[in-house]
Amino acid sequence: MEFGWSEQQLAFRRKLLDFLDETLPPDWSDIARDGPGSHAQMDYAREFCPKMAQAGLLTRHWPVEYGGEAGATPWEHMILSEEMWSIGDPRSSGYMGANWIAPTIMKYGTPEQKAFHLGKIASGEVLWAQGFSEPSAGSDLASLRTQATRVQGGYVINGSKIWTSYAHSADYVYLLTRTEGAAHAGITIFLVDLKLPGIDIRPINSILGEGEFHEVFFTDVFVPDEARLGEEGRGWAIVRAALHSERIGAARHEMARRTILKAVAELRRRKRFSDPVVRMRAATALALARAARLLVYAVVEGRVKARDPSAETSIARYALYEADKAAAAFVAEFLPESLLDGGDGQLRAAFASGATVGLAAGSAEVQLNLIARDGLSLPMKA
Ligand SMILES: Cc1cc2nc3c(=O)[nH]c(=O)nc-3n(C[C@H](O)[C@H](O)[C@H](O)COP(=O)(O)OP(=O)(O)OC[C@H]3O[C@@H](n4cnc5c(N)ncnc54)[C@H](O)[C@@H]3O)c2cc1C
């Protein structure tokens, strides 16, 4: 068994770090202060993603026939995610388009959809949002109600989405709607231009700062048949595979590790790291980040070996939740002053992430349910 990185992987990380050194502006930490959904960071992503694309880094992991690089493995993709996520992700929502929206278009899209969307995502010129959650449909997406009604030449969409990150500046939304049919059987996906008439985007203020969350209202929004991804009523099967990737898509283990190391360095500087309680809590949080990393790596290895998705992803996701939460709690308890206005941008972002990690990309409790069902084969209540 080999736990080290190969020469190729080390070279890739160096290339990426060199690119970030050359590309990120000196005031990057100010831009990143309010998180990837903020106006400042979305604006910056519009400069950064095209540069990343030109450097051959944005969609390097795509299949070769769609412009990916021969020999790039899921490991390089994980290295990319670690380096991006731990500095606050300058791609902003650019990661979503490249990592899971484009792959579902590759698999289920028409030739016209591929021609229209994939090139734009690969060049970094468009940003996407994800319109899944609704006021009464979060964990239970099967109860979503945003209605797409068939009309001549397309559909008319009515309803609303909530907690939509990035919506204020994104160009397109990957939208889950209800067509004919109940529960999962009636879910249909549309690739929707957010500038269409009848779409109203309203910000929701939250602990995560400006720009993170929105409500998106759809009133008689006409979308042509060509905007539908896959067959009518088959959206659930498409999105299940996408959600699987999203669960470990963000390298939270690395953000947790760097957060704890930064906090420890600061505590040492302030001569507050000799307290055995502080040291024990730092070690515990670091151990959780390490455990999460190994579990995430097990999933990556499964992808390299083309194993079918399994409960391993939910186990890794739950470990990421524990690691992120522990890092946030460590900072809040021992360096609370760093979380105030004017405090440390990286630590503030880590704290905000730890506060919401149990909900974003599939709630922690739902992951436990999936582990019980798919990993332990426990009977589920009807
Ligand atoms: C940072 C962040 C970014 C987000 N970005 C987006 C986005 O871009 N687009 C989007 O569509 N959504 C987004 N969301 C919303 C997110 O997907 C939902 O919050 C999540 O699916 C949970 O849904 P909910 O908020 O309705 O909570 P609920 O589903 O109502 O859950 C509330 C609580 O009940 C628990 N629970 C629910 N069902 C079960 C069950 N069967 N068994 C045990 N416990 C259960 C949950 O674990 C949770 O603790 C984002 C959320 C966050 C925090």
Residues 141 and 110 in one domain: no
Residues 56 and 115 in one domain: yes
Q: What pLDDT was estimated at residue 240?
A: 83
- Taken in order 291, 86, 203, 96, the sign of the CA dihedral is negative
**Is 171 within a domain?**
yes
**Is 2 within a domain?**
no
246 an active-site residue?
yes
**Is 382 within a domain?**
no
Take atom 4 of ligand 1 and give the residue whose Cα is closest.
360
> Which CATH number is 315's domain given?
1.20.140.10
**Is 241 within a domain?**
no
Q: Which of 203, 234, 265 is the last residue of a domain?
A: 234
**Is 257 within a domain?**
yes
Rounded to a whole number of angstroms, the distance between the first and last alpha carbons of the chain is 42
Token pair of 190 as six digits: 């549309």
Kindly report the CA angle at 345 between 247 and 245, in degrees rounded to 5?
10
Burial class (CB in 10 A: 0-12, 13-18, 19+), 209: middle
Catalytic residue among 246, 254, 312, 322: 246
**Is 240 within a domain?**
no
Name the E strands within 163-197: 172-178, 187-193
Q: Give the Cα separation of 32 and 48 in Å (integer).
A: 13
Q: Give the Cα separation of 186 and 194 in Å (integer).
A: 23
**Is 36 within a domain?**
yes
Q: Which of 234, 267, 297 is the last residue of a domain?
A: 234
How far, in Å, is the centroid of ligand 1 from the Cα of 137?
8
Residues 115 and 160 in one domain: no
Q: What pLDDT was estimated at residue 130?
A: 95
Q: Which of 234, 264, 291 is the last residue of a domain?
A: 234
| Full domain range(s) for residue 107 | 7-126
H or E stretch at 224: strand 213-224
The number of distinct structural domains making up the chain is 3
How far, in Å, is the centroid of ligand 1 from the Cα of 318?
14
Residues 149 and 121 in one domain: no
Question: What is the number of H-type helices and E-type strands within the chain?
Answer: 14, 8
**pLDDT digit of tens for each residue in the chain (382 aa)?**
677 899 999 999 999 999 999 999 999 988 888 888 889 999 999 999 999 999 999 999 999 999 899 888 899 999 999 999 889 899 999 999 999 999 999 999 999 999 999 999 999 999 999 999 999 899 888 899 999 999 999 999 999 999 999 999 999 999 999 998 888 889 999 999 999 999 999 999 887 776 789 999 999 999 999 999 999 999 999 988 777 766 777 899 999 999 999 999 999 999 999 999 999 999 999 999 999 999 999 999 998 898 888 899 999 999 999 999 999 999 999 999 998 888 888 888 888 888 888 888 779 999 999 999 999 999 877 6
Residues with CB under 6 A from ligand 1: 129-133, 138-139, 163-165, 356, 359-360, 363, 365-366, 369
Residues 298, 300, 305, 309, Cα dihedral to 10°: 80
Q: What pLDDT was estimated at residue 202?
A: 96
Q: What pLDDT was estimated at residue 344?
A: 84
